[in-house]
Amino acid sequence: MSIHTRNLLGIAILASLGLSACGGGGSGSGGASSSFTSGTITGFGSVFVNGVEYETGGSRISVDGSPATEGDLAVGMRVVVRGSVDGDGRRGTATSIEYADELEGIVQTATIASNGTGSLTVMGLTVQVDNGTFFESRVTGINGPADIAPGNVIEVSGHRLDDNTIQATLIEVKRAAFTPGDEIEVKGVIGNLTSTTFRFGSMTIDYSSAQLDNIPGGALSNGLYVQVKSTAGLDSGGTLLASKVELESGGDRDIDGNEGEEMELVGPIGTGSSASSFSLNGTRVRITSGTRFEHGSAGSIADGVEVKVEGRFDASGDLVAEKIEFGKAAETEIKARVESVDPAAGTLVVMGLTLSVDGFTMFKDDRSSNRVRRFGLDDLNPGTDRVEVDFYRDDASGALVARKVERKDDSLSDKLEGIVEGAPATGQITVGGVTVDVSGVGTVPATGRKVEISGSYDVGTGILVATRLQIDS
């Protein structure tokens, strides 16, 4: 199956985070080791999480607390996987996979550019959307993040950067508008508590008629992490009318682990980080003198930086980091026809660039029809299929590493987005290693500027002829 071949090679060399592959804490050169990991689903065959292909036969799968099957999971969902991982760190067996969305609610504000990046306010929480966010829609006419509008009902999976901010890995538009009687839900930390209301970020929640479920002592308190459900929606003043308030994750946002239990976490560092500790998806990570670093140091820790952490829980529930590896965000995005594919080598060629993929690369067939669920390099048809690829250049090897590969419907133009690297000749620039003829679109942008380009790529000359160029401010 195609998804297997994409995982077998590149994984020990490169990862989309710029990380080496690992099967979780305690893995060695021998047989399988126990695994407890939290990360984003990157593909199927069975399920890929954090570079490991987990077989799911016989595993318990749950979605929002209800029994589910592998078919209910999707690329971009952030899940918690328990099971075992083989000594090579590439394959494992999942005993359980748990998925719970961060919210399913009404969009209040939408500020997303045509390239699909920006932010949303949903039920009082800020949702950040970038090139790594996957998108689904059940609503005709809403075909991408830029089409999302206030009033739409969306489901969001992602990483919590702080109490009120989510970095989205998956957004699904569920309905064009809220209908009273439908259930919406949002998780958050209680603030500004009164006898009848509290706040999540910018949203006031009226719980005066709500059922309190599993709340300690039967009374709410500031700082408690809860899930709010509503079938009434928002009142005329924008207040959310809660039908139920229930305790979430024991009352705080962290992952609960037993003392000495091994854990692997992947994601962006939350706000308020320091060289001694930081938050990762709500779990506090402590750095000690014994913590090992790869591709960085304690000085590299900063809010929003992507990392992979391996460690063990201490008696207080903190994850004591044994190893921290620093990642690298995608720098360039291209959309063009596939020129060639080498599944055995784990590469594809687009716009003359050889792009490496591995177990961390997110794969998705995003065509409007005839989609392949277990989609990988083997499913690509050179000369016919068009893909959108986000990638970065590895500093050590110089290789171009794909973080996301999506097969798209055909379109009339090719696209390129990234940083201008230089001007090899009059009327030309290079972006992400691609030579672009900008002689027909006006001013030549300066080196270091970020640009979005539409045009036509000539395979014979290896040049993208621009018909439209936008310079980001």
Q: Residue range 325-329: average pLDDT?
A: 80
Phi-psi region of 440 (alpha: psi -120 to 50; beta: other; left: phi over 0): alpha
User: Considering the domain 103-175, what is its CATH architecture?
Assistant: Beta Barrel (2.40)
To the nearest whole number, what is the mean pLDDT of the chain?
88
Show the CA angle centred on residue 306, arms to residues 53 and 174, nearest 5°. 70
> Fold identical between 184-251 and 414-471?
yes
Buried b (16+ CB within 10 A) or exposed e, 201-220: bebbbbbeebeeeebeeeeb
Q: What distance in Å separates the CA atoms of residue 447 and residue 434, rounded to the nearest whole number?
A: 14
Mean pLDDT of the 288-306 span: 92
More confident residue, 23 or 352: 352
At residue 373 the predicted structure's pLDDT band, cuts being 50, 70 and 90, is confident
CATH of domain 414-471: 2.40.50
The DSSP secondary structure of 284-318, one letter per residue, reads EEE--TT-EEESS-GGG--TT-EEEEEEEE-TTS-
**Largest Cα–Cα distance of the chain, in whole Å?**
73
From the candidate CATH numbers 3.40.50.300, 2.40.270.10, 2.40.50.140, 3.40.462.10, the one assigned to the domain spanning 262-326 = 2.40.50.140
332-408 — its CATH code?
2.40.50.320
Q: Is the pLDDT of residue 254 over 80?
A: no
pLDDT in tens, 413-446: 999 999 999 999 999 999 999 999 999 998 889 9
* CA nearest to 440, candidates 423, 459, 453: 453
The CATH code belonging to domain 184-251 is 2.40.50
98 CB-near residues (< 8 Å, 6+ apart) = 61, 62, 79, 80, 81
Task: Quote the CA–CA distance of 298 and 284 in Å, as a whole number.
Answer: 15
Q: How confident is the model at residue 87 (pLDDT cuts 50, 70, 90)?
A: confident
What proportion of the chain, given as a percentage, has pLDDT over 90?
65
Is pTM beyond 0.85 here? no
Least confident of 141-150, 212-221, 287-296, 354-363: 354-363
Cite the beta strand spans of 113-256 per DSSP E.
118-122, 125-129, 134-137, 153-162, 165-175, 184-189, 197-200, 203-206, 211-213, 225-230, 240-241, 244-247
The contacts of residue 140 (CB under 8 Å, 6+ apart) are none
Taking residues 2-13, report their average pLDDT.
31
Both tokens assigned to 308: 């992979």
Pair of tokens at residue 247: 């305790």
* Residue 114 confidence (pLDDT) above 90: no
Q: Three-state SS for 272?
A: coil
In this structure, what token pair is assigned to residue 436? 């672009």
Q: 46: cis peptide before it, omega within 30°?
A: yes
Domain locations along the chain: 19-99, 103-175, 184-251, 262-326, 332-408, 414-471
Query: How many angstroms separate the CA atoms of 298 and 90, rounded?
Result: 28
Higher pLDDT, 182 or 16: 182
pLDDT at 152: 97
Angle at 334 between CA 451 and CA 20, to 5 degrees: 110
Quick one: pLDDT at residue 422? 94
> What are the residues whose beta carbons fall under 8 Å from the beta carbon of 124, sequence distance 6 or more?
108, 164, 186, 188, 199, 200, 201, 202, 203, 204, 205, 240
Listing DSSP states for 345-357 in one string gives: TTEEEETTEEEE-
Q: pLDDT tens across 13-59, in order?
A: 233 333 333 333 333 334 555 678 998 998 887 898 887 889 998 89
